Amino acid sequence: MPGSIRDSGEVNPSRREYPRPRVLSVAHSPDPDDAFMFYGISQGKLAGENFRVRHVLKDIQSLNEDAFKGRWHITAISAAAYPRAADKYWVLSVGASVGRKYGPLVLARPDRLDRLKSSDWSRLRIATPGPQTTALMLLRLYRGAFTAVDTRFDHILEAVKKGKVDAGLVIHEGQLTYKDHGLVSAVDLGKWWFRETGLPIPLGLDVVRKDLGRVAARDMARLLVRSIREAYRNKKEAVAYALKFGRGIDASVGERFVRMYENKDTLDMGKAGEKALRTLFDRAHRAGLIKKSVPLEIIHP
């Protein structure tokens, strides 16, 4: 019989076999791309598993903070937040949000665009989606000196429109809809990262708790692969489900956003994705954005 996990989530040390949680906590952000990825799990489409899933939805900043405490068995996390959670989690090769020549955008009103063309950003106030987000780490690598105004990601466009900030660092579907709000793109961090490194941009990860053990972690990776493949087999239904998390966007925009971040890299980040992740951490360490180099072990299905 497989081992067990107490309700607290701690491993039962009396068992030699790998632990199987009775209830598997799976956490991700309330966004169309993540919802699509976890469709098979969240909708109970995966028969034959001997555990129940506790489905947790939180914004990515909250998930980052939860990961520092090791709260969930499997969780989405910003790539930039992983160094602080590396003692508790392994990175899964599956489930990554990877952009190839696209990624977070710095947006502004047309009348403030000139401020962003200057080489001196020290007086600029930029709305950013959270202190541990990959978007902010990338912007610090791009141009370090500015004031980050911590803003809920779905309030950033409005803050820029109303002139509360000089610009906004936008993630999620705002990357596709910003023109509808009368805003312009000043910096495309995905394109910048590719020019700098020739690599894709690793934005989000799915990670698995180390106290489950490597065998169970690989099982969890296979479970997530099955969930994504289930979504592709039932694409129309899965996209409709994902759009419930799109904050009012229409089906065409929602499907475009899902396609951006649910791609072949999501099923396996591959060698390029792993190299990109190591490059991000190395550059952040040299820039003083993270305190020490990150030991990186990727769990494959």
The dihedrals phi and psi of 200, each to the nearest 5 degrees, come to -65, 170
Rounded CA separation 133/127 (Å)? 12
User: Could you tell me if 52 and 24 are in contact, meaning their C-beta atoms sit under 8 angstroms apart?
Assistant: yes
Residues 6+ apart with CB under 8 A from 91: 82, 205, 206, 207, 277, 296, 297, 298, 299
Please check whether residue 172 is in contact with residue 48, taking contact to mean a CB–CB distance below 8 angstroms. no
Q: pLDDT value at position 24?
A: 81
Predicted pLDDT of residue 101: 83
Q: Identify the pLDDT of residue 2.
A: 30
Distance CA 33, CA 48 (A): 25
Q: Please tell me the predicted confidence (pLDDT) of residue 160.
A: 96
pLDDT of residue 193: 96
Burial grade of 286 (CB within 10 A; 0-12, 13-18, 19 or more): exposed
DSSP 8-state assignment for residue 12: -
* pTM for this predicted structure: 0.83
In this prediction, residue 100 carries a pLDDT of 85
Residue 110 DSSP SS3:
helix
Parts of the chain with a pLDDT under 70: 1-22, 46-51, 245-263
Residues annotated as catalytic are: 172
All domains of the chain in start order, with CATH? 3-99+203-299 (3.40.190.10), 105-197 (3.40.190.10)
